[in-house]
Chain A
Amino acid sequence: MKNLLASTALVLAFAVPALAQDYTPDPAAKQGGEITVTYHDDVATLDPAIGYDWQNWSMIKSLFDGLMDYVPGTTTLRPGLAESYDVSTDGMTFTFHLRKGVKFSNGREMTADDVKYSLDRVTSPATQSPGAGFFASIKGSEKMADGSATSLEGVKVLDPLTVEITLNRPDATFLQVMALNFSYIVAKEAVEEAGADFGKHPVGTGAFKLTDWTLGQQLVFERNADYWRAGEPYLDKITFQVGQEPVVALLRLQKGEIDIAGDGIPPAKFTEVMGDPAQAALVVSQASLQTGYITMNLNVAPFDKLEVRQALNMAINKERITQIINGRAKPTGQVLPPGMPGYDPAFAGYAYDPEAAKALLAKAGLPDGFETELYVYNTDPNPRIAQAIQQDLAQIGVKASLQSLAQANVIQAGGEPDTAAMIWSGGMAWAADFPDPSDFYGPILSCQAGGPGGWNWAHYCNKDLDAAAAAADAMTAPEQTADRMKAWSDIMAKVMADAPWVPVFNESRYTMHGPRLGGANELYADPVATPINFDYIYVKE
């Protein structure tokens, strides 16, 4: 097993996205070969405006491209379909210069009109894109959202290879949004022809093209011979088989019938696989940009008291919880995961100290503890983790009864202002949409997200921090990046001073691949193309 976490995380913590830097291809990489990947669930859709789960996320990345992209295996931005871009001095206008001669998989050349069409499409309510809100900083996006416009005012085609995008506010995350799946460029005529079935008949500029989709059985991707990145991708063909139980997928991988078990190593088999050196050598582990946490609802007594929330932060034995999941995670005391820019390796958070926790409870006027409820997603290992939390809380006199429910019911309860006192986020935990700290604040800790139906399940609202977050995201100049990340570290430290969460651990992702596959470990544990970057892996012999 190879662990990539520590060194890269520290380097990345305050790194400036250097656009000049690019990827050095693996000298051993060879073109050709076919691989088979299995999943249990059906692939929902390959429409980049719609697809939003960890399974189709990396598949869509191989079929489409955005104006921006990431250096494979890293969180560093690099140019994509835009060869370069200019930013106005106020940071409000971006001019993207597109590459010449980029072709869609239907053979037509991509132009600036396609960029405009794709952005109009994703922000149009009729498309039902879950990601429409990411484009809120583009001028005219609010008119798209309320249906009073059919085209984004802020996106202008200057000539066939130049697009100008005007914002309504400075937004330091804008280039990340332009690298997000939702902003990928689609071919207008293909969308119009397929209509609502575009997700089954995708046409993009990506490294692969979809050549067969047998519903409920398999999908076949073949190499796009016209791909604009010369010499890429390496694989000729990828077959994705669906409907396969993870335990069976592992058996088939061990037999050499498949190359990647897409759902990972089943928990029951983990110790066995890792105990065998030959198999463990094929496992790549990487901390994902994810944090597992317990939310404490500030609207529900006694979590309105700061001392109570702090006490619970000291009461949880996080080491023991990571043991429950075979050590597939690292304990943490802060909101941001390692590897995320803005993560502060020096921040320790609240240390495990049940005695101090009891003292804090006494100070809050609750020397005998209290009774409360802990909501948890009913799929293993989450109920077991919740039981460990329950036992830890009992140590300081807090009696938590477990509400073990289906995912959708937990999410529903979390969105209501005063229903769920505590929620263990496992199975629904926050993983980054894009590698920027703001993604761990706006949707899960801001005042707005604390409204009904939001994901701020602690219903935490600190207006000062909302203002600080807005100020940080207005620092758009590249030379301000270090200051901006510092500002985000401060915001997250202040969040933890208010303690609306008990951050518990950062999960690692384990991918096992067959012995005939090559490519750097980072490609099998890509922090952005979660988890596998299909464009750069290759077959060895």
Chain B
Amino acid sequence: MASYLARRLIQSALILLGVAFITFFLLYILPADPVRQIAGRSASAQTVENIRRELGLDQPFVIQFLRYLAGLVQGDFGRSYLQKTQVAELIASRLPATLLLMAAGIACELALGLTMGIVAALTKGRFTDQMLMMTSFVTVSAPQFVVSLILLYVFAVQLSWFPVGGYGTFRHLVLPAVTLGILGSGWYARMMRSSMIEVLATDFIRTARAKGLTRVRVILRHALPNAILPVIAMIGIDIGVFMGGVVVVESVFAWPGIGQLAWQAIQRIDIPIIMAVTLVSAVAIVLGNLLADLITPFIDPRIKIR
């Protein structure tokens, strides 16, 4: 177990180094000059060169990258080019909102998605199944912007049940979390359905039925724990997606998450912020997958970690 963990952690570190290098390199070769963005329109050529030198952007690529890594190792993400604030502070200020929305969003996705998936599997081929699968298809392909705005318009503007965007109380959280739940539930529903159908066809389920167990008990105690494995792996990936930011939903509901920060930084080529958000989201994906792998043996004892 310990050696497995060590191996996985070293792998993870290498993956993160690779992500950092590729992102930094892509930003370096981008045919756009961050200094021009900072300097704005009226800056003289001398001003532009002075800013470039102050930021160390006149150095060769390798030096810039090594300097960045050296900072990173000491926990220094650098300062935003345009906001002139420590990037760590900017990320930290948005982390609570991001984590909260992630937890609530995944909870809604699971509640909706798993229910739909299980019901569809049990009614396989019948009308309910077909309706549910069509619904899941619609939610997966629905544009975030449209779903967010419809929910906002109906429940916040027309009915005034919830505030029109913002952050701070449980009532603020409901609409964005439900939006994300609806949008993401389709993936889980489809995965749960196929996994469940597969499990229901296995011998041990037939045995359990033959023993005379109730239908509910067979499904909840025997089928579900086996069918849920691929879903757990998917949550791991989902965590990474959420940590990278859900730009549109955050924007419509004025939710101060990491996605808004990333989007603005990309618009303005604010390299330190882009790097930091990319790395945070890469760390989340790597850790999410690692956690999913570590949890699996507890749910399915047949799987052993070596």
Q: Does B51 contact A133, Cβ atoms closer than 8 Å?
A: no
7 pairs across A/B with beta carbons < 8 Å? A53-B40, A131-B43, A145-B46, A196-B84, A243-B254, A251-B164, A412-B33
Q: Ordered nearest first, which 3 A-B pairs have the shortest CB separation?
A: A133-B44, A408-B32, A215-B93
Interface residues of A in 31-65 (CB under 8 A from B): 38, 40-42, 44-45, 47, 50, 52-53
A-B CB contacts (within 8 Å), total count: 150
CA distance A217 to B261 in the complex (A): 11
Cβ contacts under 8 Å, A40 to chain B? 251
Interface residues of B in 267-304 (CB under 8 A from A): 267-269
Q: Does B251 contact A455, Cβ atoms closer than 8 Å?
A: no
Q: Report A454 CB to chain B, min CB distance, Å.
A: 7
Given A41-B264, A216-B256, A245-B252, 11 additional A-B pairs, CB 8 A? A40-B251, A53-B40, A130-B39, A131-B43, A196-B79, A200-B85, A241-B166, A248-B149, A248-B164, A248-B252, A412-B33
Q: Does A415 contact B252, Cβ atoms closer than 8 Å?
A: no
Q: Is B47 among interface residues, defined by CB-CB distance under 8 A? A: yes
- The interface size bin for chain B is 35 or more
Q: Does B50 contact A145, Cβ atoms closer than 8 Å?
A: yes
Q: Which of A133, A408, A415 contacts B42 (CB 8 A)?
A: A133
Q: Does B89 contact A215, Cβ atoms closer than 8 Å?
A: yes
Q: Does B84 contact A136, Cβ atoms closer than 8 Å?
A: no
CA distance A439 to B33 in the complex (A): 23
Q: Does A247 contact B43, Cβ atoms closer than 8 Å?
A: no
Q: Report B55 CB to chain A, min CB distance, Å.
A: 8
Q: Which of B42, B157, B250, B255 contacts A443 (CB 8 A)?
A: B42
Q: Does B37 contact A408, Cβ atoms closer than 8 Å?
A: yes
Q: Does A45 contact B82, Cβ atoms closer than 8 Å?
A: yes
Known: A45-B82, A408-B37, A412-B31. A248 touches B254 (CB 8 A): yes
A-side interface residues, number (CB < 8 Å): 57
CA distance A247 to B253 in the complex (A): 11
Q: Which of B33, B51, B152 contacts A128 (CB 8 A)?
A: B51
Q: Does A42 contact B83, Cβ atoms closer than 8 Å?
A: yes
0/1 interface trace, chain B 189-229, chain A, CB 8 Å (1 if under): 00000000000000000000000000000000000000000
Cβ contacts under 8 Å, A408 to chain B? 30, 32-34, 36-37, 268-269
Interface residues of A in 476-498 (CB under 8 A from B): none
Known: A41-B264, A215-B90, A453-B36. A132 touches B43 (CB 8 A): yes
Q: Is A102 among interface residues, defined by CB-CB distance under 8 A? A: no
Whose C-beta in chain B lies nearest to the C-beta of A146? B46
Known: A44-B83, A216-B256. A453 touches B33 (CB 8 A): yes
Known: A44-B83, A145-B47, A430-B41. A215 touches B94 (CB 8 A): yes
Whose C-beta in chain B lies nearest to the C-beta of A416? B31
Q: Does A216 contact B93, Cβ atoms closer than 8 Å?
A: yes
Q: Is A433 among interface residues, defined by CB-CB distance under 8 A? A: yes
Q: Does B251 contact A197, Cβ atoms closer than 8 Å?
A: no
Cβ contacts under 8 Å, B8 to chain A? none
Cβ contacts under 8 Å, B152 to chain A? 248, 251
Q: Is B153 among interface residues, defined by CB-CB distance under 8 A? A: yes
